[in-house]
Protein backbone atom coordinates (compact mmCIF):
# COMPACT_ATOMS: atom_id res chain seq x y z
CA UNK A 1 0.00 0.00 0.00
CA UNK A 2 1.29 3.37 -0.97
CA UNK A 3 1.45 5.92 1.69
CA UNK A 4 0.51 9.49 0.77
CA UNK A 5 2.72 11.80 2.60
CA UNK A 6 3.39 15.49 2.16
CA UNK A 7 7.04 16.05 2.51
CA UNK A 8 8.70 19.39 2.80
CA UNK A 9 10.19 18.89 -0.68
CA UNK A 10 6.78 18.07 -2.25
CA UNK A 11 5.21 21.04 -0.55
CA UNK A 12 7.91 23.42 -1.84
CA UNK A 13 7.68 22.02 -5.37
CA UNK A 14 3.89 22.41 -5.50
CA UNK A 15 4.11 25.89 -4.05
CA UNK A 16 6.69 26.86 -6.67
CA UNK A 17 4.50 25.52 -9.50
CA UNK A 18 1.46 27.34 -8.14
CA UNK A 19 3.40 30.59 -7.83
CA UNK A 20 4.76 30.24 -11.37
CA UNK A 21 1.28 29.55 -12.73
CA UNK A 22 -0.15 32.54 -10.86
CA UNK A 23 2.58 34.84 -12.15
CA UNK A 24 2.06 33.58 -15.71
CA UNK A 25 -1.69 34.11 -15.49
CA UNK A 26 -1.19 37.59 -14.03
CA UNK A 27 1.23 38.43 -16.83
CA UNK A 28 -1.24 37.24 -19.46
CA UNK A 29 -4.09 39.20 -17.90
CA UNK A 30 -1.91 42.29 -17.67
CA UNK A 31 -1.11 41.84 -21.36
CA UNK A 32 -4.83 41.77 -22.16
CA UNK A 33 -5.34 44.97 -20.16
CA UNK A 34 -2.47 46.64 -21.98
CA UNK A 35 -4.09 45.80 -25.32
CA UNK A 36 -7.30 47.36 -24.08
CA UNK A 37 -5.46 50.46 -22.96
CA UNK A 38 -3.71 50.59 -26.29
CA UNK A 39 -7.11 50.46 -27.92
CA UNK A 40 -8.26 53.41 -25.82
CA UNK A 41 -5.15 55.30 -26.79
CA UNK A 42 -5.74 54.39 -30.40
CA UNK A 43 -9.27 55.73 -30.04
CA UNK A 44 -7.92 59.01 -28.70
CA UNK A 45 -5.46 59.07 -31.59
CA UNK A 46 -8.32 58.52 -33.99
CA UNK A 47 -10.12 61.50 -32.46
CA UNK A 48 -7.00 63.62 -32.92
CA UNK A 49 -6.72 62.41 -36.51
CA UNK A 50 -10.39 63.27 -37.03
CA UNK A 51 -9.81 66.75 -35.65
CA UNK A 52 -6.75 67.26 -37.85
CA UNK A 53 -8.54 66.04 -40.96
CA UNK A 54 -11.78 67.85 -40.15
CA UNK A 55 -13.65 64.55 -40.43
CA UNK A 56 -16.31 65.20 -37.81
CA UNK A 57 -19.85 66.51 -37.82
CA UNK A 58 -21.25 69.77 -36.47
CA UNK A 59 -24.83 69.08 -37.47
CA UNK A 60 -26.45 68.30 -34.12
CA UNK A 61 -29.21 70.90 -34.04
CA UNK A 62 -31.26 69.14 -31.38
CA UNK A 63 -30.75 72.07 -28.99
CA UNK A 64 -32.02 74.71 -31.40
CA UNK A 65 -35.50 76.18 -31.64
CA UNK A 66 -37.41 76.18 -34.93
CA UNK A 67 -36.44 79.77 -35.80
CA UNK A 68 -32.72 79.04 -35.37
CA UNK A 69 -33.05 75.86 -37.42
CA UNK A 70 -34.81 77.86 -40.14
CA UNK A 71 -32.02 80.45 -40.20
CA UNK A 72 -29.44 77.70 -40.45
CA UNK A 73 -31.29 76.20 -43.39
CA UNK A 74 -32.06 79.48 -45.17
CA UNK A 75 -28.36 80.44 -45.04
CA UNK A 76 -27.56 76.94 -46.40
CA UNK A 77 -25.07 76.03 -43.69
CA UNK A 78 -22.90 72.97 -44.57
CA UNK A 79 -20.08 71.26 -42.65
CA UNK A 80 -17.77 71.34 -45.65
CA UNK A 81 -17.29 74.53 -47.59
CA UNK A 82 -17.68 74.28 -51.35
CA UNK A 83 -15.09 77.03 -51.65
CA UNK A 84 -11.79 76.29 -49.84
CA UNK A 85 -11.10 80.03 -49.77
CA UNK A 86 -14.22 80.59 -47.65
CA UNK A 87 -14.27 78.32 -44.59
CA UNK A 88 -16.11 79.29 -41.43
CA UNK A 89 -12.82 79.72 -39.54
CA UNK A 90 -11.95 82.38 -42.11
CA UNK A 91 -15.24 84.19 -41.58
CA UNK A 92 -15.60 87.31 -39.47
CA UNK A 93 -18.68 85.84 -37.79
CA UNK A 94 -17.05 82.58 -36.60
CA UNK A 95 -16.32 81.97 -32.92
CA UNK A 96 -13.61 79.52 -31.90
CA UNK A 97 -14.50 76.24 -30.14
CA UNK A 98 -14.24 76.28 -26.37
CA UNK A 99 -13.65 73.63 -23.73
CA UNK A 100 -11.92 71.19 -26.06
CA UNK A 101 -14.89 71.06 -28.46
CA UNK A 102 -14.26 70.49 -32.16
CA UNK A 103 -17.14 72.64 -33.38
CA UNK A 104 -17.11 76.37 -32.99
CA UNK A 105 -19.99 78.82 -33.17
CA UNK A 106 -21.27 81.71 -35.20
CA UNK A 107 -22.87 85.02 -34.33
CA UNK A 108 -25.48 84.57 -37.07
CA UNK A 109 -26.01 80.82 -37.49
CA UNK A 110 -26.83 79.20 -34.16
CA UNK A 111 -25.69 75.73 -33.18
CA UNK A 112 -22.39 73.92 -33.71
CA UNK A 113 -20.30 75.26 -36.59
CA UNK A 114 -17.58 73.29 -38.34
CA UNK A 115 -14.36 75.29 -38.78
CA UNK A 116 -14.31 74.18 -42.41
CA UNK A 117 -18.03 74.76 -42.90
CA UNK A 118 -19.75 77.47 -44.87
CA UNK A 119 -22.97 79.39 -45.32
CA UNK A 120 -24.14 82.12 -47.68
CA UNK A 121 -23.54 84.81 -45.02
CA UNK A 122 -19.77 84.24 -45.16
CA UNK A 123 -17.88 87.49 -44.65
CA UNK A 124 -14.11 87.95 -44.73
CA UNK A 125 -12.30 88.74 -41.52
CA UNK A 126 -11.14 92.34 -41.40
CA UNK A 127 -7.54 92.73 -42.53
Site for ligand SF4 in 40-59 (CB under 6 A): none
Residue 109 sits in the site that holds ligand SF4 (CB under 6 A): yes
Choice from 79, 97, 111, 118 touching ligand SF4 (CB under 6 A):
118
Q: Which residue, 77 or 97, has its beta carbon nearer to ligand SF4? A: 77
Q: How far is the CB of 90 from ligand SF4 (least distance, A)?
A: 8
What does the longest C-alpha to C-alpha distance in the chain come to? 102
Find out whether 73 and 64 touch, Cβ atoms under 8 Å. Answer: no
Residue 106 sits in the site that holds ligand SF4 (CB under 6 A): yes
Site for ligand SF4 in 63-82 (CB under 6 A): 77
Residue 116 sits in the site that holds ligand SF4 (CB under 6 A): no
User: Nearest-CA neighbor of 89 among 115, 70, 109?
Assistant: 115
User: Nearest-CA neighbor of 78 among 114, 44, 102, 106?
Assistant: 114
Q: Is residue 104 helix, strand or coil?
A: strand
Q: Which residue, 97 or 117, has its beta carbon nearer to ligand SF4? A: 117
Q: Is residue 89 helix, strand or coil?
A: helix
Q: 119, exposed or middle or buried, with CB in 10 Å at 0-12, 13-18, 19+? A: buried
- Chain contacts with ligand SF4 (rule: CB under 6 A): 77, 88, 91, 93-94, 106, 108-109, 113, 117-119, 121-122
Amino acid sequence: MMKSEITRRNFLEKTAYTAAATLTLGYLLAGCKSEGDAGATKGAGDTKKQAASGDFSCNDVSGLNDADKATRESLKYVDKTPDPAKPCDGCALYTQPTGGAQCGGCTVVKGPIHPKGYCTAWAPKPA
